[in-house]
Chains A and B, each alone.
Chain A
């Protein structure tokens, strides 16, 4: 039998792509509920569709991040990474996914926002993650003089585990007894979980940049380490910006505010290196993985600008509880996280061996269609958010339902742009899966 090159990393990336496709379909279906209130109301309804969408999207990112780390680590070891423990990790994920989807379809909820499934299914995820940590430590121990991305992966993996467990403290009634503390912990968790997968994916982006440029400087520079620690500092302490209106302890709100403002440093740095970025783009545009990294960079810039403004309490008062928050959540998970995972997939599935001109052109077209759809998608949510914000602040409010009906044009635009995302992402995902299939027997030697 001919041996294939299916490594554990690729297995995770392929699984993640399936979650992406499911997530997109559920996303479009949940948006129909906005436009047609009775849509599937007596069966799935928004109650089930939203969790299906959000969980699939989050799993696309987490599984994608896992795949990225494994694929990158393969460059540090001669041995095949796939062993019994890795496979157990993957099987545990499959068990969890099956349980979670079943939990949603049978409406057996019980969890919280983003994790609405029956909490029992958090168990296989936790065990899978512990296996991931052990595997990671075993491999990275052998690497000398760690570049910054190994640090980023390690902290991402550790903090994800810590926060994911913290995510279930509400099971103990001690924590539920005081509603405000309970909410504080819930949003501490949500903030840090996102920070953790960002560490893993930004680490992947650093790794890819090092690889593209054929140099080992990016990952070992003082600046890179400075940025890593600033990111970690924010992961730990900036989450207070989610809960400015919650009557929690004053110091928590100030810590969130002050720490969030250190993100201006990232922002200014991007501005500062803008010229360099533009010349790099011109040099490497033809190379697909690089193109996705650049797209992620631009979305970092846009989303970070928005996020820092929203972290100022006086502005947050207006944006909080509106679709501006949704635009931020999806703007970052699609624009930044998804672009980095796509860059990694194009790199590790060896897209450059794909010579067919039609496929290359189709991919370029889908790439641009994706960026354009995302921009419209993001703007329509912001517009809907601004209108709701004006309504929230006005002294003689019309009824909630009247306000929502007046947002229909924005939600329609949102729906159409969402279809654009569905189409472009689907084409790119199919190209990737086909590329994987075509190259499955090519085994690289180190």
Chain B
């Protein structure tokens, strides 16, 4: 096989793989407990204040602060604590006086993240193939 043929075959496979990922949102049902319009804007709020420079979602992001994937549903933390922390800051985290709209969208976004699954590594099992799965 000539290099150029192999190259195009791989590109073809790559495009199919990519397309299949782009189409996934069509196959998933929306969660009824979440105001998805607000959550979609909340993602932008998260970026606007650059929370990602210190916090992770599913272990991805900056590494100075804790992972926030399941902070909303944590009985010891939850919405009230988030409000307090945003108001006063903590350690390296500055305080954020954000407009109420931004705040509401941000919380809705964090709720949608929380509802998608668990990020705590203790909540996983390891299968024989070496793959991990949520308990």
Contact = CB atoms under 8 A, between A and B. Distances in A.
A314 B130 contact: yes
A179 B14 contact: no
A284 B130 CA distance: 43
A252 B22 CA distance: 13
B21 A181 contact: yes
Given A41-B94, A317-B124, A113 B62 contact: yes
B47 A112 contact: yes
A401 interface: yes
The A interface, classified by DSSP as helix, strand, loop or mixed, is helix
Contacts of A116: 47, 50, 52-53
B97 interface: no
Nearest to B28: A178
Contacts of A187: 60
B43 interface: yes
Interface residues of B, number: 55
Contact of B92 (A37, A51, A393): A37
A320 interface: yes
B3 to A, nearest CB: 6
B131 A254 contact: yes
Interface in A309-340: 312-314, 316-318, 320-323, 325-326
A38 to B, nearest CB: 8
Interface in B107-135: 112-113, 116-117, 119-122, 124, 126, 130-132, 134
Interface of A: 33-34, 37-38, 41-42, 45-47, 50-51, 107, 109-113, 116, 151, 155, 166, 169-170, 173-185, 187-188, 225, 229, 232-233, 236-237, 242-247, 249, 252-255, 257, 312-314, 316-318, 320-323, 325-326, 392-393, 395, 400-401
25 contacts: A45-B94, A46-B92, A50-B54, A51-B53, A112-B47, A113-B61, A151-B3, A178-B25, A178-B28, A180-B116, A180-B117, A181-B28, A182-B43, A225-B3, A232-B7, A233-B10, A237-B17, A242-B60, A244-B132, A246-B58, A313-B131, A314-B126, A321-B59, A321-B60, A395-B122
